[in-house]
Amino acid sequence: MRQLRGEDARFVYGESGHANSNITLISIYDPSTARDGRVHFKDLLKHIESRLHLSPIFRHKLLRVPMELDFPYWIEDDDFDLEYHVRHIALPKPGDWRQFCIQASRIHARPLDLSKPLWELYLVEGLDSFLHLPPDSFAILAKVHHAAIDVRGGAEITTLLHDTTALPPAPEPPEPWFPESPPGSISLLARAMINNVVRPLMFAGPLARALSRVTPAVFGSLGELLGKDRLAVTRFNSEVSQHRVFDSRRFFIDEFKRIRDLVPGATINDAVLAVCGGALRRYLLAHEELPGSSVVSLAPFSVRAVGANREERPELSLVRVPLGTEIDEPKKRLRAIYKHTSTHADIDQAVRAKELTEFDKHAPAATLALSAKLLAGSSLSSQREPLAGCTIMNVPGPAIPLYLDGARMTYFSAIMPIADGMGLVFSVTSYDGMIFISPTSCREQLPDPEFFAQCIRDSFQELLALTRKPKKAKKKKVVVSKAASKRKPVAKKAAKRRAA
């Protein structure tokens, strides 16, 4: 029996009627590499059943402590039913990309049953009108609660179900499984009493550093959590509804490398931020809503943390980065983003965010549950300014092709959770030489996701066009006859006579 960490418990406590903490990983497959050119639902069930023992995420569910006096525990589900978690649907005709995005968004928006293991997997068929897909192609939607996986390690569940070859070994018989008996309420309360006595001693230091920052986040301006500067506010910084929208565009990593090279020293991450900033500028400009100052994003950033042995080590932290939406020229936007990220201008903010994470690990569960509820409620929409204008999350996938029961994966993206005041998330996924940029938002805030996705494509093409060297004009070749070449020019003869 494992207990949730504070930062994971926060996602459970923060559930509301219009905002949940689901992460949906989306994969599309070419079945021509499978045994008989197809992957049947019954074979998929057998395949997944043979992998259940590889991770506790599949059979573990939450056990809440009475009165939320302690963090929940992971316990084995003694009523586990694989066919409840793995489902089979098909798109109606014509089965195009827009229909798929709508269906995926609906599935993502539905909350998971917190009394069961926190995942669902959907086999989606009927992708008949997708471009460049062979017949019988299908998609897999793997919906997992944020408390069960780390976003940056979210591809782990994908790796567990896949192989690196189209001819994997025959699945072994399912391992015998006997669930453990869950503890009773008295046992849980006794554990809670012990933990609540020990934890204050453990988190006294982090609390002293973080309490002054947590309190404004709950009762005051969220902008004070990471700094005093006022941030640009857009339509995405309002209260979200229960509806979701999603779209995606695919690019080659090599093309992003060319964009990166426009500014010496810039990274692929800087190039991605520039594309997202350009897309936001285009979209808000088209709706006559572009703010005068830059929209700021929470984005992954590498910082140096000091461990217990005083050794420095690199860590990823979410840091605010201006996206240069006020800059019209795309290369200047990339240069401005690189200048900001390369100088580590927000290193202090990253340290503050890390201190808050330490606070989440050790804070009493009842206090954290209260703060998460307040942050998830309508009080967030009344804050004077948002934490950021949007979020950009990186979900790295494998760099080599993967196969699901013999079918080759050709696409990998993600739909991310959003919340009040933070209604736009770009998920940036990578797989097999490609990068996928996929915005998630609320249907009321982003009623035209197709147009937004086209803004992403146009922003990318605008930067990529700058990497193409202009062709030099070819000089016209003058053809001179043999007779003319033997005659000396008249001007030269006259010049010789004058010299004489």
Give the whole-angstrom CA distance, residue 39 versus residue 34: 7
Question: Would residue 126 be called left, alpha or beta, if left means φ above 0 and alpha means ψ between -120 and 50 degrees?
Answer: left
Pairing between β-strand 2-3 and β-strand 73-76 as defined by DSSP bridges? antiparallel
Give the whole-angstrom CA distance, residue 438 versus residue 423: 14
Give the whole-angstrom CA distance, residue 303 versus residue 487: 76
Per the structure block, which two tokens stand in for 275? Answer: 């594309």
Per the structure block, which two tokens stand in for 296? Answer: 């700021």
Per the structure block, which two tokens stand in for 281? Answer: 């500028």
Q: What pLDDT score does 339 carry?
A: 93
Residue 25's beta-bridge partner residues?
Answer: 142, 414
What interhelical angle do 330-342 and 268-286 show, nearest 10?
A: 130
Q: What pLDDT score does 233 carry?
A: 92
Residue with tokens 């074979």: 43
What pTM did the predictor assign?
0.80
332 alpha carbon, distance to own chain's centre: 25
Give the whole-angstrom CA distance, residue 212 versus residue 102: 42
Q: Other CB atoms closer than 10 Å to residue 2's CB: what's the count?
A: 9
Strand ranges (E), 189-342: 244-246, 249-252, 296-306, 312-322
Domain boundaries along the sequence of the chain: 2-465
User: Apex CA 460: angle with CA 455 and CA 464, to 5°?
Assistant: 150
Q: What pLDDT score does 319 carry?
A: 84
Nearest CA to 458 among 290, 279, 325?
279
Give the whole-angstrom CA distance, residue 195 versus residue 65: 12
Q: How many alpha carbons lie under 13 Å from residue 260 in its C-beta half-sphere?
A: 13
Q: Other CB atoms closer than 10 Å to residue 196's CB: what's the count?
A: 14
Helix locations, 55-155, DSSP H:
82-85, 97-109
Q: What pLDDT score does 213 carry?
A: 39
**Radius of gyration, alpha carbons of the chain:** 28
CA distances in angstroms from 50 to 56, 166, 239, 367, listed in the order given = 13, 17, 42, 41
Q: Is 398 exposed, middle or buried (0-12, 13-18, 19+ CB in 10 A)?
A: middle
Per the structure block, which two tokens stand in for 180? Answer: 């453990």
Give the whole-angstrom CA distance, residue 239 versus residue 142: 26
Give the whole-angstrom CA distance, residue 96 versus residue 127: 6
Residue with tokens 């390369």: 342
Q: What pLDDT score does 385 carry?
A: 64
Residue with tokens 């950009």: 392
Q: Other CB atoms closer than 10 Å to residue 250's CB: what's the count?
A: 16
Give the whole-angstrom CA distance, residue 287 versus residue 272: 23
Give the whole-angstrom CA distance, residue 418 versus residue 22: 9
Per the structure block, which two tokens stand in for 459? Answer: 């922003």
Give the whole-angstrom CA distance, residue 298 versus residue 319: 5
Residue pLDDT tens, the chain, 500 long: 788 877 788 888 888 888 899 999 999 999 999 988 899 999 999 999 988 988 888 999 998 887 777 888 888 998 999 999 999 999 999 999 999 999 999 999 999 999 999 999 999 999 988 878 888 899 999 999 988 876 444 556 778 899 999 987 776 676 776 666 676 666 666 666 666 655 554 444 444 444 433 433 333 334 444 444 578 999 999 999 999 999 999 999 999 999 999 999 999 999 999 999 999 999 999 999 999 999 999 987 655 554 545 555 555 677 889 999 999 999 999 999 999 988 754 444 444 444 444 444 444 555 444 444 444 443 344 445 678 999 999 888 888 999 999 999 999 999 999 999 999 999 999 999 999 999 999 999 999 999 999 999 999 999 999 998 776 666 665 555 555 445 544 444 544 454 44
How does DSSP classify residue 443?
T
Which helix or strand (DSSP H or E) is residue 25 part of?
strand 22-30
Pairing between β-strand 249-252 and β-strand 138-145 as defined by DSSP bridges? unpaired
